[in-house]
A and B are shown apart, each in its own frame.
Chain A
Amino acid sequence: MENDGKNILVVDDDREIVRAIALTLEGEGYTVFKAYDGLEALDLVATKNIHLIIIDVMMPRLDGLSAIMRIREGKNLPIIVLSAKSENSDKVLGLSMGADDYVTKPFNPQELAARVKSQLRRYTSLGDINSQGENVILNGRLRFNLDEHVLYADDEPIKLTATETKIVELLMRSPGRIFPAEEIYSKIWNESAYSTENTVMVHIRRIREKIEINPSEPEYLKVVWGIGYKFEKH
């Protein structure tokens, strides 16, 4: 299997959660190391060849964020933070400490597995893409090849319709910019939009379901409520 030989470290003070994550990931073919506090995690990172870390924030002896800072001093590897805190400020803090992704508890194990896969892909394939010098737009786990007109998520091509591909290209070309639905419509269909925004909105929802790990909490194709849509920069 493709995931063979990937060592993942799961750190949480709740042993049952660690076990559940381990079971899920082992089902996907990963090798899982377990730790129950920050210091144990540091030991394992130093001794084993770890490819990715899933770490809880609130732990005894050494909390998750401090552990991340210590790990980051020596190693460059993807880190996914687990936390029961769902506040935006907590997320921002976690990400600024050096985490690559932030998953709030309670989480769906399948979603966590998808994120693990995504992070591993990005870390391993990042170098190749840059060296190839292809005509691509890179944004986080997404890569849009302008020559082929194909969108890749975690290096896997996503099946999009022609219209969806056009919308994705338009939005990915200006990440962060807010596009009203009429603008998207007039650019893609080359007609002026009259009460046809719904068409655009429906398309965007479909794209989101294809490219987002968790479509109900989109990370890339976001709704700007009452204004339009945008492609978040990652």
Chain B
Amino acid sequence: MDINLKSTSTFKGLVSWVCLLFILCTASVAMVFAIMVLVSPGMTEYATDSVHQFAGSVPPYLEQGSDGVFHKAEPTDLAYEYGVKIASAVAVVLTALIFIFAFRRDRRAFEAVVARALGRVWVEVKLLILGPLVVFGMSLFGWTSTERCFLFSILGVLTVYFLCLDIGRNHRFFGHNIIHSILVRVNDYHAMTTFEQRAVRRLYSTIAMVVFLVVFGIFGYAVAVNFLYDHGQHARDKLALTVPLIALIGVIGTVWWYILALKRDLRDWNLLMAQITEMYGGDLNAVNHVPPTSNLYDCAMQLNMIRTGVQKAVEEGTKADRTKIELITNVSHDIKTPLTSVISYVELLKREPGLPEAAKDYVNILSQKAQRLNSIVQDVFEVSKAATGNISLNLEDLDIGRLLKQTFVEMDETIQRSQLQFRVDIPDAAMIVHADGPRLYRVFQNLIRNCTQYSLEGSRVYVALSAQAGVVQVSIRNISKTEITMNGEDLTARFVRGDQNRTTEGSGLGLSIAKSFTEACGGCFFVRTDGDLFIATVQFPLVERGGGEGLFSYEKSMGTPPVPSGAAPAPAAVPEPPLPEPPAGPNSPELKA
């Protein structure tokens, strides 16, 4: 639509513009005609004749007789003929004027385009065209030909029109000249990079060389022909031809040199691109071997330096990570040593006979807090290692449902103590995931412990395991004791606990550890809250097992399974060839025999 609109407007502008040119030309011709009539009234007929001659038509006052000779027409016919001619001329002029005015806006746009095109022409070229025009006009004064007068007037009007258009629209009429353009190019050249300059220099020198050789060939041939004029036809031709032949060889050689240089550049580009690809792929040892003579040598060296820099940064990054781990290890060691004393002496104190009741109570508190401090130190250590990706995983295929059941059995005491009701929905079908067993146990242990610590007393906790679309999902939902004021993202952050006053047991690292461990095993962990409902979800990709129950079917591996009476033996264990099927139809050969 847009393009259509634009093209119609351009077309309208073009029509209007052509009409304007036509009117200008007509007006100029009419003016010259009027001047001629005014200067010598007797020339009217002659001038009219000239107009007709100029237009290539037969004057109406001349009629072609039957003998083919023109003779004067009758005055009545003449008047009629003139009337028609003038009327049609007026109609044409009026139409043109209507077009000019109706489409003046489009015309101005079109004129701008024309002016822009004119602006691109060097002023020298314009002067070169103007000069002959002026000379031509001057020469007309010596002539008597009326057609030339008309031509001159038309050319003059058009020239003035275009000059006005150009000067009026283009502010740099004289500014855009050849010298200026050359200077601009030279400036551009200086602004170019060395590589660009070299390439441009090579291209231009090749073109210059080729042009020179061609000119040399042509001129040399001409000169040689002249000089050898006296040496006979045969010798002249043979000897003269050697000059263009040498030129041709020169041209071929130059082009060949250019192509070779271009090929060398291409090869170096390839080297650089290969290095970039390799570095992008993670190989920081990739080095390019661009020769020092190459145009791309600087670039290649810079790339090599970038490589060294990146390599160093990566090394420093790993070193920093290692330092961090070492720091954590040392700090946790330094905490553990005094903690050992604390725990040991608290234990000794506990067994001290004759302690007052109050002291026993205090000792018990000390013991609990020491144990808690111990578990916090362990958690900090583990979560820091997981966060820096520094844990060694032992990934294996395991049944997540079984793992959940085991977890619940292991945590039975904690669950019993919590007074919460656990509604556990674990399907019997095995759901195999690829994960680190002890770490995954820690994930669920933390989640269940979280429930027992932060759930509303007497509320229910729902644990559900499901698999769909290749994803195994464990969701644990519980009702929070206190209002949850944080979103899921914040809750999994380190050292965040549901209660802001931090009085409850726990390090505040449970969810963070669960998240880190799940993600380390290749799963997804997220936490969602809905009012007081707290939902933790663990997702793992389901491992499809081709061999069915391979890992978990103990019957095959044991050989003598206690099969319930009446059950058929496992068919898969007997790889015997299938028994021949009973004949299916009367055409069967067995039946005939």
Which residues of A are interface residues toward B (Cβ below 8 A)? 14, 16-17, 20-21, 23-24, 27, 58, 84-86, 88, 105-110, 179-183, 186-187, 190-192, 194-195, 197-198, 201-202, 205, 223-228
Contacts and interface: CB of A to CB of B under 8 A. Distances in A.
30 contacts: A14-B340, A14-B341, A17-B337, A20-B341, A20-B344, A24-B344, A24-B348, A58-B333, A84-B340, A86-B378, A88-B392, A105-B339, A105-B340, A106-B336, A106-B339, A106-B343, A107-B343, A181-B402, A182-B554, A186-B562, A190-B562, A195-B428, A198-B409, A202-B409, A223-B441, A224-B437, A225-B406, A226-B398, A226-B437, A226-B440
Nearest to A15: B341
B575 interface: no
A194 B564 CA distance: 12
B403 interface: yes
Contacts of A201: 405-406, 409
Contact of B438 (A20, A194, A225): A225
Interface in B540-577: 551-552, 554, 558, 561-564
A108 B343 CA distance: 7
B351 interface: yes
B345 interface: yes
A211 to B, nearest CB: 16
B374 interface: yes
A106 B551 CA distance: 38
A226 B336 contact: no
A205 B378 CA distance: 24
A223 B411 CA distance: 13
B403 A191 contact: no
A179 B554 contact: yes
Contacts of B552: 180, 182, 227
Contacts of A88: 392
A186 B337 contact: no
Interface residues of B, number: 46
A227 B564 CA distance: 23
A180 to B, nearest CB: 6
Contact of B402 (A20, A186, A197): A197
Nearest to B400: A226
Nearest to B561: A186
B412 A202 contact: yes
Contacts of A17: 337, 340-341, 344
Contacts of A58: 333
Contact of A84 (B336, B347, B405, B433): B336
Contact of A107 (B340, B392, B402): B340
Contact of B441 (A24, A27, A84, A225): A225
Given A182-B552, A226-B402, 18 more contacts: A20-B340, A20-B345, A24-B347, A24-B348, A84-B332, A85-B329, A105-B337, A106-B340, A106-B370, A107-B340, A187-B562, A192-B562, A197-B405, A202-B409, A205-B410, A224-B437, A225-B403, A226-B403
Given A27-B351, A181-B402, A223 B336 contact: no
Nearest to B345: A20
A23 B558 CA distance: 51
Contacts of B433: 226
Contacts of A86: 378, 381
A191 B341 contact: no
A109 B433 CA distance: 40
B399 interface: yes
B341 A226 contact: no
Interface string B463-486: 000000000000000000000000
Interface in B382-414: 392, 396, 398-400, 402-403, 405-406, 409-410, 412
A157 to B, nearest CB: 26
Contacts of A24: 344, 347-348
Given A14-B337, A21-B344, A107-B340, A227 B409 contact: no
Contact of B398 (A108, A186, A197, A225): A225
A205 B409 contact: yes
A42 to B, nearest CB: 23
Given A180-B554, A183-B558, A226-B398, A105 B336 contact: yes
Interface string B325-337: 0000100110011
Contacts of A225: 398, 403, 406, 437-438, 440-441
Nearest to A200: B409
A106 B406 CA distance: 27
A226 B406 contact: yes
B348 A20 contact: yes
B414 to A, nearest CB: 12
Interface in B67-124: none
A17 B342 CA distance: 9
B433 to A, nearest CB: 8
Contacts of B563: 192
A191 B565 CA distance: 10
A108 B437 contact: no
Contacts of A228: 402
A214 B454 CA distance: 28
B558 A227 contact: no
Contacts of A106: 336, 339-340, 342-344, 370, 374
Contacts of B337: 14, 17, 84, 105
Contacts of B333: 58, 84-85
Contacts of B403: 225-226
B41 to A, nearest CB: 122
Nearest to A58: B333
Contacts of A198: 405, 409
